[in-house]
Amino acid sequence: MSDVAQHAAWAVLEIAPTPDTREIKRAYARLAKIHRPEVDATAFQRLRDAYETALELAPQLATTSADAALADSADGPSDAAPLPPADTALVTPQSDPQPEPAAPAAGDVISAALDHTAQTVRAWADELNPALDADDLPALQSALARCLGYPLASLAMVRQQFAHAVLNAMMARKETPLSAIDHASTELGWRDDLTLTREQRTWLQRVAQYRIRLQAEAVARGFAADIAPEAAVAHITSVLSEQQIDGLEDRPWFEMGLMLGLVEPVMAPLPVIDAIAAFFEWQDLAHLRRIEPRLVDFFLQRVQAARFEQNERDYEAGLRAFADDPSPKTADARHARWAARALLRQPHEPGLAFVASLLKPVQQHARAMLEEIETQHPALAAKLDPDAREFWRKPRPQLGDQPLRNLGWLSVPGALCIMYAISQMSGVEDWPGYPLTFWLPVVLGGLLSGVLLTVVLWHLGNDFVPSIARRIQLFLLAWTNRIAPGVFHPRVIDEIAVLLAGSVLPAVYTLSMALGPLNSDLTSNPIPPATLVKDILLLGLPWWLLPFRLASLVRTLWSLRGNAA
Amino acid sequence: MRKNLTMLIGIDLGTTNSLCAVWRDGAAQLIPNALGQTLTPSVVGLDDEGRVLVGLPARERLITHPQHTAAVFKRYMGSAHQTTLGTQRFRPEELSALVLQSLKADAERFLGEPVTEAVITVPAYFSDAQRKATRHAGELAGLKVASLLNEPTAAALAYGLHQREAESTFLVFDLGGGTFDVSILELFDGVMEVRASAGDNFLGGEDFVSVLIEGFVQQHPDLKRLLDPAHRQGDQFRQLVRKEAERVKRALTDQTSVEFSLVWQDHPFSWTVREDDYARLIDPLLVRLRKPLERALRDSRLKLADLDEIVLAGGASRMPLVRRMVARLFGRLPAVHLNPDEIVAMGAAVQAGLKSRDAALREVVMTDVCPYTLGIETSRQYGPGQFQGGLYLPIIERNTVVPVSRSETVYTVRDNQKSVLFKIYQGESREVKDNVFLGELELDVPPRPAGAVDIEVRFTYTIDGLLETECVVPESGEKKRLLIEKTPGALSADEVQAQLEKLAALKIHPRAQTENTFLLNRAARLYQETLGHERVVVGEALSQFRAILETQDERLIEEGRKALHRVLTDLEGEVLL
């Protein structure tokens, strides 16, 4: 929120910035009667936004002013009591639990008697202290029975005063065992006592909530062992209905107890936690966060950590299973499997890796997998062979998506050169009748030149060829878009690029044969037209592919008709 | 001054009963119907001459003429469901319009001037389509709907004015005939602010009745087949058993054991319902009360201790088991200062007063919330060229104070995308398939690479709960608006005209004869329900009264009416509303 918006909020409300929500509400109420929601929606909305902003800002202002006050009183003796921690159930209210009865007026017999009784019951209550200190339930039981056995305790009024005194004594203690509270509550009838003060009742309520929490914790701890998620939820439902934990205020305490019990000391299985979270709708935890934010965060952290660990295990197992899967369905899956296998191989074998790396998709898959493993699964990354990681990290020479086709393309010029050279040396005219001794070196030489060319192109820069193709594509895209926006699809552009690339080489060769600039013999002694046609048909084989490529282009166009990008 | 121009009334259009009230002389006053009662059952029927009957006279014919009578149609509001009465088919809003028409006639008679405008209450959790249908019903009845008011808010208005305390926070627990709503309100300095609303549109008194019927047929399995809607006599049986179940439900309010008994084809059937049986049967329903309460409390960011009072509204909240449940949930007893049947109508009248800027209410402002989240469908990219569609992008969060206008910016997902389709949904789920579809809007965008075009989507939710969507491309200035109308079951203008003509063609049963007709129908129903001597008595009284009606002597008829009423009341007690 910008400062401008903040200032605007106060301006709209027509008040100075204040931490007092009461004042903000008053201002809002006054203005809302002018800008009524049913009359002027826009003005009301402005007011409403300002109101909500102001209410959000108020607590911040309150802390700053409190800080200022604290700073002011820093040199003087500070009488501000430390705030009691609000997150434990058994904390005693800081206020004096028992207001001292007023001193009796002289001669006022009744009040003197009352005072005497009050003192007596307090003395009785003190008798319980040793048992409470020792956390000894039998001792407490007997002490309580003894006190209630005093003749004076048979009076209902005295008994009630005693009940209050014991309650106050317990409230004044730092820690009181739950069993002792339970016992005293049944003996002294606190539950049905309508004369309890607000503090006393709040304290008892907090005890009850603490108990619910403990119960829930115990329930959740039982889930550490193997248990079906449905059974866990069913168990919780039955506990809720048996213990009648259905007050809207009690339920959150139960939920918090569950939270703690589920992650401490042993983590419950994740499916159980998920089922419980779904049952209580824990996707929205605002209501619990209001009571104890630290517990909620702790729980979320633990669950997240567990989930992460689980993922880690799942990921590695999944990857290994995938690498061993003998029946990949598609070419892409086969490539991915090859990549996974090469990555996971222990130890790294450079030869096998090199062969695998010649396929571009394998390289891409391996690189992506490595990146994923290194960023998201460091545990698995540590298990991989460092050489393998090093090998796959950077792009390596490759033969594209379809290495055979590419190799074929690249081998053509070499093969043609060798063929030409052999024919010149041997002087044989009748091409189709050449023996195997002619074709073998031609093919092998062609392949070798193809590999060499690949390596040369690689060293020119791995992205050399793709970047040119990409540039042509972008250029065509830009122009076609300008001429006829949306007509040309990337697939069409691809077809055209392949068509152009495929026609360059045969065109060059055919032209050189026809014009013969490389052979001086040809100028003086031109090849007969019949031989030339035969040569073109045989050696200009790539030309034959052109009609297929053209057909493919038309097919692509046809399939895309009326389907703009 | 406005009072002279138009007369505004407040109407509680309920599932079981409807009421109307008016703000007059600084107070809300309930308006009695032709029978002198404030509650008019939401039942519509056609009599033997094809004239429309509304209220008690129609309800009496549910058993004798199930084919010509319709009830509980509010449950179908906003859907294309049609009810057949005799030879004609009616949509739920047409049936509601007939009820509204009858209430309007009552109000005009009571006030002595024509009524043209009304505030109609709807359950807070009613969807957009259901609200539209309600508004449409009002228009069909010839009423301009000044505003739709949420039922718990209405209850709170009535309660808050009654209270007139400087500052308080309270929760309205509104369990009506067919719907359950919870609203938490804060009252300070004359501002009545709804902090949160939640609800269940299919949970109400009628469900408790259904549970009793289930229990009854479990005791008598041979009657089970009659509950099948396809059964020839099923209609009549269902109405009969429903009426008895309703009686038993009410009787269980102050008795611990009630006899469920009915006569079917001259055979008596009975079942003794004890309170704990009933408690066991309705437990699943009570469990369902919990969720909306929790949600409202969570959304309001209030603690239970912050609530000063729990206000009960809706007839079904009278049930002791429900009250006990509320007491257990909240750890305290709910307030019952006002009649839960009437509180909503009173609130509607207060709102009518607010609307007409009544001087007595100038110092009161009421703000309401939008009870559910509204948003659009979006896609999220999770890889190059890979998208997950069907994700929900909330624009107005639930329980935002209305009127409200909020906007979000979204982007195109594909290169050279030509247009964007916005699908608008209502609901809380992350995936739109689990939310309610409201409408759609298509917007042309300039062709650019993916993500380069941003579009501002603005939702404006009015105080009446109507949603307007506006999408703007700042780059091209292309703009489109949509007032959600493409809801399922909505009608075209021609269809609306046809509906109006159809309703205008219906003859309404003359108001003056309502009481006679009611008694005749009631007697005919009792004749069918009773056996032996009682049946003879009813038959006798019935023919006597018919003979008296023939004389057309006002005085005689008046006496005959009293006599017949006495006979019938002796037999089965006062009629329950």
Residue B367 has pLDDT above 50, yes or no: yes
Tell me the residues of B at the A interface, defined by beta carbons under 8 Å apart.
Answer: 147, 188-191, 290, 293-294, 297-298, 301, 303-305, 328-331, 354-355, 362-363, 365-367, 401-405, 414-416, 418, 447, 462-463
Apex CA B429: angle with CA B428 and CA B434, to 5°?
A: 115
Q: What local confidence, expressed as pLDDT, does residue A477 receive?
A: 65
List the single residue in A with minimal CA-CA distance to B361.
A33
Q: What local confidence, expressed as pLDDT, does residue A75 receive?
A: 43
Looking at A49-63, A90-104, A227-241, which range is the least confident one? A90-104
Cβ partners under 8 Å of residue A86, min gap 6: none
DSSP-assigned states of every residue in A102-113? PPPPTT-HHHHH
Q: Are residues A363 and A331 in the same domain?
A: yes
Please name the member of B188, B298, B366 whose beta carbon is closest to the beta carbon of A287.
B298
* Number of domains, chain A: 5
Q: What is the 3-state secondary structure (H, E, C) of A461-500?
A: CCCHHHHHHHHHHHHHHHHHHHHCCCCCCHHHHHHHHHHH
Token pair in block for residue A229: 């998620």
Average pLDDT across chain B, whole number? 85
Q: Are residues A298 and A433 in the same domain?
A: no
d(CA B75, CA B96): 11
> Which residues of chain B make contact with A286, given a CB cutoff of 8 A?
298, 301
d(CA A63, CA A42): 33
Q: Are residues A357 and A415 in the same domain?
A: no
Q: What local confidence, expressed as pLDDT, does residue A79 receive?
A: 41
* Min Cα–Cα distance to chain B from A342, Å: 24
Q: What local confidence, expressed as pLDDT, does residue B254 receive?
A: 85
Asked whether residue A146 is assigned to any structural domain, the reply reads yes
Q: Are residues A414 and A384 in the same domain?
A: no
Q: Count CB pairs under 8 A between chains A and B.
A: 80
Helices A270-280 and A251-263, packing angle to 10 deg: 170
Token pair in block for residue A53: 């902003």
Asked whether residue A306 is assigned to any structural domain, the reply reads yes
d(CA A495, CA A475): 15
Beta-sheet pairing, B309-313 with B400-402:
unpaired
> Which residues of chain B make contact with A30, given a CB cutoff of 8 A?
189
Q: What local confidence, expressed as pLDDT, does residue B14 receive?
A: 92
Helices B514-529 and B554-572, packing angle to 10 deg: 40
Q: Whose CA is closest to A253, among A219, A304, A224? A: A219
> Are the C-beta atoms of residues A345 and A366 closer than 8 Å to each other?
no
Across A506-524, average pLDDT: 57
Please name the member of A32, A244, A485 whose beta carbon is closest to the beta carbon of B191.
A32
Residue pLDDT, tens place only, B504-551 = 888 888 877 888 888 888 888 888 877 788 888 888 888 888 888 888
Q: Are residues A32 and A159 in the same domain?
A: no
Cβ partners under 8 Å of residue A472, min gap 6: A497, A500
Q: Are residues A489 and A550 in the same domain?
A: yes
B180 φ/ψ angles, rounded to the nearest 5 degrees: -125, 125
Asked whether residue A203 is assigned to any structural domain, the reply reads no
Asked whether residue A115 is assigned to any structural domain, the reply reads yes
Q: Are residues A229 and A285 in the same domain?
A: yes
Please name the member of A48, A286, A564 whose beta carbon is closest to the beta carbon of B418.
A564
Across A187-199, average pLDDT: 76
Intra-chain end-to-end CA distance of chain A, in Å:
40
> Are the C-beta atoms of residues A171 and A93 closer than 8 Å to each other?
yes
Task: Give domain limits for chain B.
Answer: 2-203+286-370, 374-483, 511-572
> Are the C-beta atoms of residues B367 and B400 closer than 8 Å to each other?
no
Average pLDDT across chain A, whole number? 74
Cβ partners under 8 Å of residue B227, min gap 6: B213, B217, B234, B237, B238
* Min Cα–Cα distance to chain A from B305, Å: 9
Q: Are residues A489 and A511 in the same domain?
A: yes
Q: Which helix (H) or strand (E) holds B95?
A: helix B92-111
Burial of A132 (0-12, 13-18, 19+ CB in 10 A): buried
Residue pLDDT, tens place only, B494-514 = 777 888 888 888 888 887 788
Q: Are residues A271 and A151 in the same domain?
A: no
What domain range includes position A416? 403-560
Residue A408 has pLDDT above 60, yes or no: yes
Q: Are residues A139 and A185 in the same domain?
A: yes
Q: Which helix (H) or strand (E) holds B120?
A: strand B117-122
* CATH superfamily label, B2-203+286-370: ATPase, nucleotide binding domain (3.30.420.40)
Which is more confident, A282 or A435?
Answer: A282
Interface check A20 vs B, CB under 8 A: no
Catalytic residue check, B144 = no
> Are the C-beta atoms of residues B226 and B237 closer than 8 Å to each other?
yes
Residue B301, CB-side half-sphere exposure with 13 Å CA sphere: 5
> How far apart, in Å, are the Cα atoms of A468 and each of A473, A495, A525, B488?
8, 15, 41, 54
> Which residues of chain A make contact with B147, given a CB cutoff of 8 A?
38
Q: Whose CA is closest to A409, among A453, A357, A344? A: A453
> Going by CATH, does the domain composed of B374-483 fall within 2.60.120.200?
no
Q: Are residues A416 and A528 in the same domain?
A: yes
**Which of A170, A196, A222 is the C-terminal boundary of a domain?**
A196
Beta-sheet pairing, B167-175 with B180-188:
antiparallel
Token pair in block for residue A299: 């729980």
Which is more confident, B192 or A355?
Answer: B192
**A486, B418: Cβ pair inside 8 Å?**
yes
Same fold, B2-203+286-370 and B374-483: no
**Which of A151, A171, A196 is the C-terminal boundary of a domain?**
A196
**B416, A246: Cβ pair inside 8 Å?**
no
Residue of B151, B200, B244, B342 marked catalytic: B151
Asked whether residue A78 is assigned to any structural domain, the reply reads no
Asked whether residue A316 is assigned to any structural domain, the reply reads no
Residue B383 has pLDDT above 80, yes or no: no
- Count other C-beta atoms under 10 Å from residue A465's C-beta: 15
Please name the member of B304, B330, B463 whose beta carbon is closest to the beta carbon of A37.
B463
Interface check A36 vs B, CB under 8 A: yes
Q: What local confidence, expressed as pLDDT, does residue B44 receive?
A: 93
Catalytic residue check, B12 = yes
> Which residues of chain B make contact with A44, given a CB cutoff of 8 A?
403
ipTM of the complex: 0.79
> Are the C-beta atoms of residues B377 and B51 closer than 8 Å to each other?
no
Q: What percent of chain B has pLDDT above 70? A: 95
Please name the member of A45, A290, A564 whose beta carbon is closest to the beta carbon of B403.
A45
> Are the C-beta atoms of residues A355 and A387 closer than 8 Å to each other?
no
Q: What is the CATH number of the domain that holds A59?
A: 1.10.287
> Which residues of chain B make contact with A237, given a CB cutoff of 8 A?
none
d(CA B298, CA B397): 14
Instruction: Choose from A36, A55, A248 for mutation: most chain B CBs within 10 A.
Output: A248
* Min Cα–Cα distance to chain A from B420, Å: 13
Q: Where are the alpha helices (DSSP H) in A73-197?
A: 109-127, 129-134, 137-149, 156-172, 178-188
**Which of A271, A289, A311 is the C-terminal boundary of a domain?**
A311
Instruction: Choose from B2, B184, B189 for mutation: most chain A CBs within 10 A.
Output: B189
DSSP B123: -
Name the CA dihedral angle for B246, B251, B252, B254, rounded to a multiple of 10 degrees. 150
Beta-sheet pairing, B365-370 with B191-200:
parallel
The total number of residues written for chain B in this structure: 577
> Which residues of chain A make contact with B355, given a CB cutoff of 8 A?
38
Q: Are residues A409 and A349 in the same domain?
A: no
Please name the member of A26, A249, A565 whose beta carbon is closest to the beta carbon of B416.
A565
Asked whether residue A125 is assigned to any structural domain, the reply reads yes
Asked whether residue A96 is assigned to any structural domain, the reply reads no
Q: Whose CA is closest to A55, among A21, A22, A31, A27? A: A21
Looking at A80-89, B82-91, B487-496, which range is the least confident one? A80-89
